[in-house]
Structure 1
């Protein structure tokens, strides 16, 4: 009787031990699954940006994606010079607003030893001076030189944006290259320039502005980019890159992998820009809506990257 009792007790103990081992194995498997993919590393990131049309959308998109994989991302709205210098000196981590090789050439030349080109996110980003299409006699930058009638009608002014923008530097170079000695470039902000452009178009008045694509304004009014025979604005156009500070890949491997996999196309940018800039919707809400409606694309951007629940 005693032997039978002890045998029975031993059997129960063995089963319990076996169950514990299974639980441990399951725990180990779960742990292994959780550890798959790059480590999170540095959990707080700073992403500077200028409130340009595409950049506002793209910056919020990357911020949202990185928060999905566990990061706390600060979006810092700054001027163009500060956007580049802060990444170069390490006080910020990355930005997705590098227009190269032409528009931001001076910034790249200054900071290329301290900044890494992570990924080309858009392969076609042309820039130029632009006018409303009803200005039928103006089709090239060459048509502006010594054009007395047009010059006097706009006070010989090209209505510009923030002074640190690369396209403003291009425009100053265009004045010299095309002999536009009478012309002056005024600076303000993109928003102010667009308001002035919209008012001019509403009244069918002449105006000359620097513009670029992608931009939501081309979907709301008939504006044409002027030919640039000397290719001061980069010929066929720039490409747009995400760039990061030296050391980010080692400090935040998971974030760096997302930056390597994120890209864009005109369709997605053209869908979101008008909602933010023409309809005045919150860019965070616009981006979240796009994420919710495009799970397959988000899966591509976050492929192999653990997500936070």
Structure 2
């Protein structure tokens, strides 16, 4: 009897070890990462991610850095260049997974109010992002929004026209409101794109011609041009500035835990952005190549942003 009991125990033990070895299979749609310091497994979950972005200076950089990080840990990331409205709408309706461009509480207030029930604020990545109309420093008699009113000399020198960016951008809505708040009836706001606006700004700046445009920080322009942001005493543009958040569709944390963890751990600062933005927008380097080079040259940041994930 004792011999049979011992043989039964050995048989059960062997069967348990076989079952344990066979467990943890991959169904092809999900995957597991390494264990983190807390001893819990961080799963990839869904492997395909869609990330929309607007081709603004900072947003292109941050989007491609995150896309490269996520590709490195096992995701298939589709990056889509869109306008601001579709960027927000696609994350809210679940056809895209996250974006890095939520300027809150002021600039994107309308989008947030419309979509906040379907979007999660993952993390604040920039704590101060001021916006304003801006002119070159050599425009001496324009320093505040109030200086634009009845300023015939400056107004006529630029045909009473502010060279704007894409129509759906929050700063465009702020500027339209500012024209009303400051009674700037003679002024008009021209819709274009950031790249078109910057082309006109560069041309005017190189010739020391007058020009006025909407600008924001962080932006590479301030590293290569001597510009000043007009004071906004009525705080139409949000006072000292917005904060910039990464936001995700509802359910992303459950569907792609490792991706969500990267978004939570990712950080930016002005030094980093001011190093990278001119390479793309002033030196015309490919943004994906700039992002990859930055990650290759900064393994300590990669380790920090992907901590706990294989």
TM-score, L = length of structure 1: 0.88
Distance 2:175 2:288 in 1: 32
Distance across 2 between alignment mates of 1:67 and 1:205: 45
**Which residue number corresponds to residue 166 of structure 1?**
170
Residue by residue, what CA displacement relative to the aligned partner does 1:27-86 show, whole Å, maximum 9, x if unpaired?
Answer: 79x99x965231111100000000000011000001001111110000000000000000
Identify which range, 201-210 or 157-166, moves more after superposition.
201-210
Note if 1:216 corresponds to 2:209.
no
Moved more, 106-115 or 280-289: 280-289
Is 1:85 aligned to residue 89 of structure 2?
yes
Give the corresponding residue for 2:271: 267
Alpha-carbon shift at residue 95 of structure 1 (Å): 0.1
Which of 68, 73, 77 is the equivalent residue of 2:77? Answer: 73
- Aligned pair count reads 285
Structure 2 equivalent of residue 5 of structure 1: none
Q: CA deviation at 1:104?
A: 0.4
Aligned to 2:250: 246
Tell whether 2:66 aligns with 1:47: no
Q: For residues 118 and 286 of structure 1, what CA distance do their matches in structure 2 show?
A: 25
Q: Is 1:122 the equivalent of 2:119? A: no
Structure 1 ranges of 4+ moved more than 2 A: 33-37
SS state at 1:73 partner: strand
2: CA distance between counterparts of 1:71 and 1:273?
A: 25
Taking a change above 3 Å as real, the CA distance of residues 298 and 61 of structure 1, as seen in their structure-2 partners, is: same
Q: Which runs of 5+ in 1 are unaligned?
A: 1-19
2:210 maps to which residue? Answer: 206
Q: Secondary structure at the match of 2:67?
A: helix
**Using a 3 Å threshold, how does the CA distance of structure 1 residues 34 and 91 change in structure 2: closer, same or farther?**
closer
Q: Is contact 2:34–2:308 with CA below 8 Å preserved after alignment?
A: no
Q: Provide the secondary structure at the position in 1 that maps to 2:117.
A: coil
- 1:129 CA drift (Å): 0.2
Q: Which residue of 1 aligns with 2:62?
A: 58
Aligned: 1:108 with 2:147: no
Q: Taking structure 1 as reference, are residues 35 and 197 closer, same or farther at Cα in structure 2, changes over 3 Å only? A: closer
Equivalent residue number for residue 141 of structure 1: 145
Structure 2 CA distance for aligned equivalents of residues 190 and 60 of structure 1: 18
Name the CA distance, whole Å, in 2 between partners of 1:134 and 1:92.
44
Partner residue of 2:238? 234
Q: Give the match for residue 292 of structure 1.
A: 296
Q: Which runs of 5+ in 2 are unaligned?
A: 1-13, 26-31, 36-40
Q: Which residue of 2 aligns with 1:255?
A: 259
Measure, in 1, the Cα distance between the counterparts of 2:202 and 2:116. Answer: 37
The answer (yes or no) to whether the contact 2:125–2:266 under 8 Å persists in 1 is yes
- TM-score, normalised relative to structure 2: 0.88
Q: How big is each residue's C-alpha offset from its partner over 1:12-40, in whole Å with a ceiling of 9 and x where there is no partner? A: xxxxxxxx9xx98xx79x99x96523111
